[in-house]
Amino acid sequence: MTEIQPWWSNSVFYQVYPRSFQDSNGDGVGDLDGVTSRLDYLADLGVDALWLNPVMVSPMVDHGYDVADPRDVDPLFGGLGALERLIDAAHARNIRVTMDLVPNHSSSQHPWFQAALAAGPGTEQRERYIFRDGTGPGGLHPPNNWVSVFGGHAWTRVVEPDGNPGQWYLHLFDAEQPDLNWENPEIAEDLEKTLRFWLDRGVDGFRIDVAHGMAKPPGLPDMRNPDLPMLTLDDDDPRFNHDDVHDHHRGIRRVLNDYPEAVTIGEIWVFDNEDFAKYLRPDELHLGFNFRLVRAGFDAAEIREAIENSLAAAALADSTPTWCLSNHDVEREVSRYGDGDVGRRRAEAMALVMLALPGTVFVYTGEELGLPNVDLPDEVLQDPTWERSGREERGRDGCRVPMPWSGDRPPYGFSDTADTWLPMPPDWAALTVAAQDADADSTLALYRRAIALRHQRGDVVGRPVEFVDLAPDVVAFRTAGMLCVLNAGASPVPLPAGELLLASAPAVDAVPADAAVWLRLDDH
Ligand code: NOJ
């Protein structure tokens, strides 16, 4: 490959959940100066870039995914100055900084939505959102059967300025997150201002929230299956992936083209490869999150299929594949794979699989420590899903508990107060960064070695991945002079020939169950 590849095409991104990374001012919530103070840790881990979950001004109903002012940083996170300090300090260490961008909806506290409520039906202020009259006598019922991803109806009825119940507005997420009307050109114009505002301040790109949202089909037809479990999106769901969304991505790309070093990464919950690849056409997004590895169980066939499909989807658009095992919306992989020692061993093995693959990798806050999900008591739950689902779905708080840094009890160096925004478990002393620093066999040590070796392997961009059939319950593939072998079965498998570069568990002449190894291939 002679062409120079963009910086992101082989990068390891670290997803910082700012509330949970490091608190610098003792209020129990992480903030941007906290992130800055931990940059050496991230540099040591070997990451190339950060993705910050939303830090814009927000009432924090959905922890920042409800944006009231898209061109300022919330005081909770330290304001704009704190972001500028973080960008400078990260750049000084050669770490890029990307931000979350939320174009599908705003906060109900956004001045636009407040103006829409005050102006009443039929006004241009209402045209920035998706207001409709209800159905049935007196408009008593919602305009269609769409459900919110967080549970309940996707419509809320407003009280009109005359004091009577009136129109309904659409919100695919919480009622405090009204969907914007992307058919109104003002929305794209304002987003352009937002993009330039941050890019001009040195931000290196954006993770685009609900990138398969934004456009809604004309007439807003009913869902065929509104009873599907939440977050189980099917590819025929009229709420998402309407073809007009591609025009919006082209608009975003035209702005980004003025900043050729900046990247866009779409959150795309679309599983048809051809549909997924459309988002990655040369005039749309640079990268798309592919969630197939997140959805795969610890099962050789599922993992191989996830990898093959992720590669195939990226190849269709001649784009870079992306890999992640978790994020702030899903149960942590240690718990998904069985919790306890087994869950941790499997998560370590999967880290080696992910970090062997060509493309862009995303590591989520605390993943490198092997943190499990936390069972939190009802009274501390904050995710809007909990209430909206009628307290049936506990929501995503369990994967968002703050990072343990040091010490033997909460708040483990995360904050000066033990009253952290989510309580930290009493039994995390062995999981802290300090404890794992002192242990050469820790999950953290494995991540550090794997990322360092990945960097040393140099240019793995665009290298083919060739699967090898070694044994049942084994996933093995060669790429860029290396063989990665994952044993997802119950008994050890013989270690193939080759210099052992790295193993997630002791591997003398066999790859143990629930482990993975990297071997250098002689013929490279
Ligand atoms: C996807 C984000 O990752 C999630 O955390 C958020 O709740 C929804 N989009 C709504 O913005």
Domain membership of residue 116 (yes or no) is yes
Q: Is 416 a catalytic residue?
A: no
Which ranges of 93-200 would DSSP assign to H, the alpha helix?
A: 111-119, 185-199
Task: Let me know whether 406 and 323 are in one domain.
Answer: yes
Residues 410, 388: Cα–Cα separation, whole Å: 30
On whether both 328 and 416 belong to a single domain, the answer is yes
CATH number at residue 145: 3.90.400.10
Residue 158 covered by a domain: yes
Structure tokens at 506: 């002791």
Strands 56-57 and 69-73: antiparallel
Burial class (CB in 10 A: 0-12, 13-18, 19+), 110: buried
With tokens 């919100």, the residue in question is 171
Domain-located, residue 453: no
Quickly count helices (H) and strands (E) in the chain.
Answer: 14, 20
409 membership: H or E segment, kind and range: none
Q: Are 255 and 347 members of one domain?
A: yes
Q: How far is the CA of 42 from the centre of ligand 1 (A)?
A: 24
* The pLDDT value given to residue 226: 84
Ligand 1 in contact with 100 (CB < 6 A)?
no
Number of domains forming the structure of the chain: 3
Read off φ and ψ for residue 263, nearest 5 degrees.
-120, 150
The protein residue whose alpha carbon is closest to atom 8 in ligand 1 is: 65
Catalytic annotation, pick one of 62, 66, 237, 267:
267
Both 333 and 410 in one domain: the answer is: yes
In a domain, 154, yes or no: yes
For ligand 1, mutation pick of 65, 67, 104, 294 (most atoms within 8 Å of CB): 65
234/367 same-domain check: yes
Mutational pocket test of ligand 1: of 56, 148, 329, 400, the residue with most ligand atoms within 8 Å of the beta carbon = 329
Domain CATH for 14: 3.20.20.80
Atom 4 in ligand 1: residue holding the nearest Cα:
329
Domain assignment present for 1: no
Judge whether 458 lies within some domain: no
Q: Do 166 and 307 share a domain, yes or no?
A: no
CA-nearest residue for atom 11, ligand 1, is 65
Q: Do 166 and 194 sit in the same domain of this protein?
A: no
Nearest-atom number in ligand 1 for the CA of 62 is: 7
**Is residue 175 domain-resident?**
no
Length of the chain: 524
| 136 and 253 assigned to the same domain | no
- Residue 308 in contact with ligand 1 by CB distance below 6 A: no
Look up 209 and say whether it is catalytic: yes
Ligand 1, atom nearest to 328 Cα: 5
Clarify whether residues 306 and 395 are in a common domain: yes
Whether 116 and 98 map to the same domain: the answer is no
Among 384, 418, 448, give the residue marking a domain's end: 448
Q: Kindly state whether residue 349 falls inside one of the protein's structural domains.
A: yes
- Residue pair 290/322 in contact by the 8 Å Cβ criterion: yes
Reduce the DSSP state of residue 424 to 3 states and report it: coil
Do 145 and 232 lie in a common domain?
no
CA distance 478 to 213: 36
Nearest-CA residue for atom 6 of ligand 1: 65
| Domain closes at, from 399, 417, 448 | 448
Task: Give the domain CATH number at 476.
Answer: 2.60.40.1180
Q: Provide CB contacts within 8 A for 516, sequence distance 6+.
A: 348, 349, 350, 352, 353, 484, 485, 486, 487, 503, 504
Q: Are residues 28 and 116 in the same domain?
A: no
Residue with tokens 């925004």: 421
Note whether 209 and 276 are within 8 A (CB): no
Write out the chain's pLDDT in tens, 524 residues.
Answer: 446 789 999 999 999 999 999 999 999 999 999 999 999 999 999 999 999 999 999 999 999 999 999 999 999 999 999 999 999 999 999 999 999 999 999 999 999 999 999 999 999 999 999 999 999 999 999 999 999 999 999 999 999 999 999 999 999 999 999 999 999 999 999 999 999 999 999 999 999 999 999 999 999 999 988 876 555 566 679 999 999 999 999 999 999 999 999 999 999 999 999 999 999 999 999 999 999 999 999 999 999 999 999 999 999 999 999 999 999 999 999 999 999 999 999 999 999 999 999 999 999 999 999 999 999 999 999 999 999 999 999 999 999 999 999 999 999 999 999 999 999 999 999 999 999 999 999 999 999 999 999 999 876 667 899 999 999 999 999 998 899 999 999 999 999 999 999 999 999 999 999 999 999 987 55
Domain hosting 117: range is: 111-170
